[in-house]
Structures are given as structure tokens and as C-alpha cells.
Amino acid sequence: MRSNHYRMNFFVDPNISLAQTLDTSFYLKEDFFEQSKEKIFAKGWHFIGDTDQVKEKGWATPVNLLEGFLNEPLILVKDKNETLHCLSNVCTHRGNIVVERPCQLNDFRCKYHGRRFHLNGKFLSMPEFKEVQNFPSPEDDLHRLPLFTWGKWLFASLTSQFHAKEFLQPMMDRIGWMPFSDFVFHPELSKEYVVNAHWALYCENYLEGFHIPFVHTGLNSVIDYGNYSIELFQYSSLQLGIAKEGELIFNLPPASPDHGKKIASYYFWVFPNLMFNFYPWGLSVNIVQPVSVTQTKVSFLSYVWDESKLRQGAGADLHKVELEDEDIVQNVQKGIRSRYYRHGRYSVTREPGTHHFHRLIAEFMK
């Protein structure tokens, strides 16, 4: 029986044939869940929307980054020079939220005491502060966060520890030939799911195709499981879905590194919680948002490129695949509570993605 005072050693052997999976304490202990906020998520890069949200000068959109978990209030704004910024949405006077809903502005004005800021976050003015010494200072500006644009998609980080390209460059290089300006967000095709399982269990399931023949009969009928492959990068990975004969595939240009292959889908994962699923019809962005040790919210955001290919091929029925995954992951959440299970082993051929994920968790959590 595990001790109430168990101390986890965050180590996963780099040799997958020798390695054991993470100890189940990582998924069960509230302390590790709380530590992951700063040790993992605060250091990563997060999907915060697209440029269509701030098309015009002066347009500002509030973003609550990982609501209920990191809960960081941010503003996405385009200034008068058409430069995009990601700013803290917290007034530097008394901590009030500055922008409550999407709007077009000439400058930011806090409705609590009237402090004003330029659209780039610089302090502008403040009533009744003439007598305050050493004011204003840089601390009176709205904090500016690192912002990265790829195509029309926007990413932000709470720290400057890593550059966005360390996480995103392999994906950018692989499918940079796609006409991203033609991808249109479709809210009616986008969904949110609540999964009664730890966020990492959900990611682990995504990171291996090992379960496809056993869990996803529909997907297995169009994917060539024998040629399913995975490629690992520093902070991301790619699973290549190869189509069976006669199934829908990408029309790859000669410039594509995969030209000549029958690609049905590109499944890109970016540490720790982003999934970019490219299909011939477009893109499904999956954002895995921790809620508690035993609950996760997953947002599916659909960007359509070619409507004529919807409901075909590997991306034909994402809702059905999601429900099948949820059923398995929720059962795993129940199973890991057992006193007789602490960790497992990896399939060398089918689970390098999960092994890679566990290695990253161990690296960040140390």
C-alpha cells in the first residue's frame, strides 16, 4: 500500500526499452497538480486565438488564459500602428480588470479610478497622483507578454524562458505550404468537452496510436495502422496518419517533405497541452485545460479550409472519436487509484510519444 508521505522521484529512463511510466502519484496528488502550474504551464506557449479577433486598429479582446487553472487575465490588442500586443489585463493601480469584453478603443481606461494606458501598454495618465513621488515608473505600465504569430494563429507565454520556435518550428517547417489565410474559424463545428480525468492522462492517450485498432474502429477503417508513425522533436511530436487505399488524402505539393506519401492526417502535439490536427478539410485545434486533479476541459476549435471535404477521411467524425477516447481515459483515471498499480512499461514501437511526454514532465517538474 502506498504511503501518505510518498515522495516522487521524477525520473524516466531515456532508454524506452528499460523505462517505467510516471508513478501514479503525479496524477493523484494535489500538490503535484498545483506545482505543474508554475513548473510546466507557466513556462510553455499557449494558443490564444487568431488575428481575426483583432482585425482593426484599436481592437482589444480579453483572454483568460487557462480559465480555472492559470487564470491569467490578458488583453490581445492591435495598436494604432497595427502592431499586435499581448498585455496583462490588470490595472497597475489597484488590480482591476481593464477590458471586460471585445471592443474598439483609442486607449485603455480603468473604470475603477481612471488610470489610462496607451494601446501598447505604456502608462498614459492618472488622476489625483501629482503628489506621488517616483511616479510613473515602468511598473506602472501594463505588463507586456511574449507574443508569437504563425499564419493567423497567435501564441503567448507567461515567461521569456523559451522562444516559441522551440515548440512550434517543427510544425511550421512540415506544413508551412498550407494556405493558412484561407482557414476560417467555424464556431458551429467547435465543441467543448469535460473529461473526468487528469490532463496528462488525456495527453498520453493522444500521443500513441497503439489504441486505435482497439478503441477507434471507424478511424481504423481509414488509417493504415501498419504504417502509422511518430516523429519526436524537442518540445513537440508528430504522428503521421497514412491512409488506406482509396481514402481521402492531402494533395501534397512537391515542396512538401511528405510528397508522394498518402497522408490522411497530421497530428501535431506541442508540450504541454496543445494538439493541432490537420486534415484535408482543415484544422482542429485541441486545447487541454486542467480543471482539477480528476477533471479536464478540452476545447476543439475548427478551422475549415475546404468545406467539400468535411465529414470524410480521418477527420470525418471527431465527436465520435472524442467520446471513445473519453471512455478509455476516464476508466484509466479510476484504475490508477488502485493500490496495486504504480507504473507501467512502454511499447518500444508504439509508445515513444508517451515516453517523450513523460520525459518532458519529469524534466520540468524536477
d(CA 91, CA 180): 35
Domain boundaries, the chain: 46-158, 166-365
Q: Which CATH architecture has domain 166-365?
A: Alpha-Beta Complex (3.90)
Closest CA to 281 of 253, 318, 244: 318
CATH topology of domain 46-158: Rieske Iron-sulfur Protein (2.102.10)
Per-residue DSSP letter, 345: B
| pLDDT tens-digit series, residues 185-194 | 999 999 999 9
Is residue 120 within 8 A of residue 79, CB to CB? The reply is yes
d(CA 247, CA 240): 15
| pLDDT tens-digit series, residues 136-150 | 999 999 999 999 999
- Phi, psi (rounded to 5 degrees) for 347: -75, 125
Q: What is the pLDDT of residue 6?
A: 53
What cell does 42 get? 507557466
d(CA 13, CA 4): 25
d(CA 275, CA 284): 8
Whether 166-365 and 46-158 are alike in CATH topology: the answer is: no
| pLDDT tens-digit series, residues 226-271 | 888 999 999 999 999 999 999 999 999 999 999 999 999 999 999 9
The pTM assigned to this predicted structure is 0.94
What cell does 325 get? 477516447
